[in-house]
Amino acid sequence: MELFLSVMAVAVSIASLIWTAITAESQRKNAAVVTNHTNIINVEAQIAKVPSLLRFHGITDPEMALEQHGLSSEEFVYLLNSFTVAGTFYRTSPKRKTMLLAKVYYRYNMCSSSHSPCLAPFTRLYQQESLSGSP
């Protein structure tokens, strides 16, 4: 009986060690994403001041593109930052599968608004180009 209890104690200890290692790695990755998040937001905010920066992301005529979508550069940056924040949240949240665009969240209303569908290609073009390499 003592041998059985000793073996069980060792097995539980090993399982705890493995779980701790997995959890620590997950926390490390999430911390890296969140730490980098503030820097990304600050860089994206520069677009509001200098809309021509969008040309570095494949948008050849930024002023015309913004005008076509009925956006000021500040509104575009707001939406871009909002999607960036949401992306970080959904990547790091343990409940991400159940909350993605749930009707109870204000983001659902934002994405359902008549203004948002026309923005998808515009923000997607920017984000594919600029954020594809971010952690």
Residue 135's pLDDT band (boundaries 50, 70, 90)? very low
Range of the domain at 37: 2-131
Burial of 52-75, coded b for 16+ CB within 10 Å and e otherwise, reads ebbeeeebeebeebbeebebebee
Q: For the chain, how many structural domains are there in total?
A: 1
Using DSSP's 3-state secondary structure scheme, residue 128 falls into: helix
Residue-wise pLDDT tens digits, 64-121: 888 887 888 888 888 888 878 877 777 777 766 555 556 666 666 776 666 665 555 5
- pTM, to two decimals: 0.60
